[in-house]
Amino acid sequence: QVEEVVICEQTVDALCTWLEADPNYDPVRTRQNGEDLSIADRVKTADEHRASLLLSIHANYDGSTRQSHGFECFPTPPGRIYAGESMRAAQCLAGAMEQAGHRLRGGNGVRFAYYSGKRKRIVDSTDTKVRQDKSFGIVEQPHCPAVLIEQCFLSNGSDYENWGSPAGCQRAGRVYYEAICAYFGTQPLAQAQPQAGTAA
């Protein structure tokens, strides 16, 4: 779990460096590095800043096999207010990752997750049935489009090397930045990496 947190924080650092350098964006972290905040606290921060899109970045792990691999993301499910825009953001993210060479899980890397008690059910994005079962809190509670990202499998060597290593996190941050630009219809900054804490 510590390794997952480090990977997620490194990826968010890389993404925020790009967003902060781009005058079109004003990124807000709902959780600072090292903090342990509830979903409710993170949603409150997003709401206070009138967020237009909320991303929650994670890494997968499969202790039963090293064969599980790939990228998947989970938008706000069908039947919710922000389902349509969340789906569009998820498609931008999955499409950008596929174009960057990552393998997608499921049909197109976009899936829905539902909980019945402690039992989790994952369905492909083609299953648009409206269900009463709740999804991840981070995509159910915000008052804006939201997507939970599972960046890679830490239990898979190739996934980790390409998307979980320090270089992989930098790469993922750039891909997410380009996906955000596609979602909002802006032109990404040139590929040359900006310096952290500076504006372009």
Q: Dump pLDDT digits (tens) for 35-56.
A: 999 999 999 999 999 999 999 9
- Give the Cα-Cα-Cα angle 118, 119, 122 (nearest 5 degrees): 135
16 φ/ψ angles, rounded to the nearest 5 degrees: -65, -30
Q: Which helix or strand (DSSP H or E) is residue 61 part of? A: none
What pLDDT sits at residue 182?
Answer: 98
Mean pLDDT of the chain: 93
**Residue 63: its pLDDT value, please?**
83
Contact 183, 53 (CB under 8 A): yes
Nearest 5 degrees, angle CA 8-CA 140-CA 163? 20
pLDDT of residue 200: 37
Nearest by Cα to 58 from 164, 162, 155, 134: 164
102: tokens are 């990552």
- 199 — pLDDT class (breaks 50, 70, 90): very low
Task: Cite the beta strand spans of the chain per DSSP E.
Answer: 54-60, 72-75, 111-116, 119-124, 146-153
What is the secondary structure of 128-175 as a DSSP string?
Answer: ----SSB--HHHHS-SS-EEEEEEEETTSHHHHHHHTSHHHHHHHHHH
Q: What is the mean pLDDT of residues 89-108?
A: 97
- Residues 54-73 have pLDDT tens digits of 999 999 999 888 789 999 99
Strand partners, 114: 121
- The pLDDT score that the predictor gives to residue 75 is 98
Nearest-CA neighbor of 173 among 72, 69, 97? 97
Using the predicted structure, report yes or no on whether residue 165 has a pLDDT greater than 90: yes
Could you give the CA distance from residue 10 to residue 166 in angstroms, rounded to a whole number? 7
Percent of the chain clearing pLDDT 90 (strictly above): 88
